[in-house]
C-alpha cells in the first residue's frame, strides 16, 4: 500500500462524496482522494474537476516558471517530424513504424522501441 498517491487538486477534499469520508469513527472528515492510479493530468488528479481547479490556482505560475511563449513557434522542415505507423492486422507481421515529415512528406523507418521512446525525435528543439 506504499505507493498510493494523493490527488493534487487543491479542493479535492471539498467535493463531498462518500468515498472521500475517512478517519476513525466519531472523527470522520472529507479528505483528499488517495489512489494507486490517478487517471488525469499525467496521473496527478482524480478527475478533470480537480485538474481544472489546480489549473485555476497554479497555471499562470506554472507557465511563467517553465517558460511563457513570447513569440510564435514556427513549423519548419527541421521540426516537422511526427511518429506514425501503418497498422498490420496479421498476427505474424508487426506494425510498420515511421517518422513522417509533415512538410516534406519524407518517411524514415523506426523501430517499435524508437516509436515508444518519447525522448527519441528527429526534431530540432
CA distances from 53 to 7, 18, 20, 45, 81 (A): 11, 20, 17, 10, 34
Q: Where are the alpha helices (DSSP H) in 1-125?
A: 48-66, 112-116
Say whether residue 9 binds Zn ion (CB under 5 A).
yes
Say whether residue 38 binds Zn ion (CB under 5 A).
no
Q: Which is nearer to Zn ion, 12 or 110 (CB)?
A: 12
Give the interface segment with Zn ion, choosing from 49-57, 61-69, 98-106, 113-121 (CB under 5 A). 49-57
Q: Which of 20, 41, 50, 110 binds Zn ion (CB under 5 A)?
A: 50
Q: Which of 20, 46, 51, 81 binds Zn ion (CB under 5 A)?
A: 46
CA distances from 91 to 16, 86, 87, 123 (A): 48, 14, 11, 32
List residues near Zn ion by CB under 5 A.
Answer: 7, 9, 12, 33, 46, 50
Amino acid at each position: 500500500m506504499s505507493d498510493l498517491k494523493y490527488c493534487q487538486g487543491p479542493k479535492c477534499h471539498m467535493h463531498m462524496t462518500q468515498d472521500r469520508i475517512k478517519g476513525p469513527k466519531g472523527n470522520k472528515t472529507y479528505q483528499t482522494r488517495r489512489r494507486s492510479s490517478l487517471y488525469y493530468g499525467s496521473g496527478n488528479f482524480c478527475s478533470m474537476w480537480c485538474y481544472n481547479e489546480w489549473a485555476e490556482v497554479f497555471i499562470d505560475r506554472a507557465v511563467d516558471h517553465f517558460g511563457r511563449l513570447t513569440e510564435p513557434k514556427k513549423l519548419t522542415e527541421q521540426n516537422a517530424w511526427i511518429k506514425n505507423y501503418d497498422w498490420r492486422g496479421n498476427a505474424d507481421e508487426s506494425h510498420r513504424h515511421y517518422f513522417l515529415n509533415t512538410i516534406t512528406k519524407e518517411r524514415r523507418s523506426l523501430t517499435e522501441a524508437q516509436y515508444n521512446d518519447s525522448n527519441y525525435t528527429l526534431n530540432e528543439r
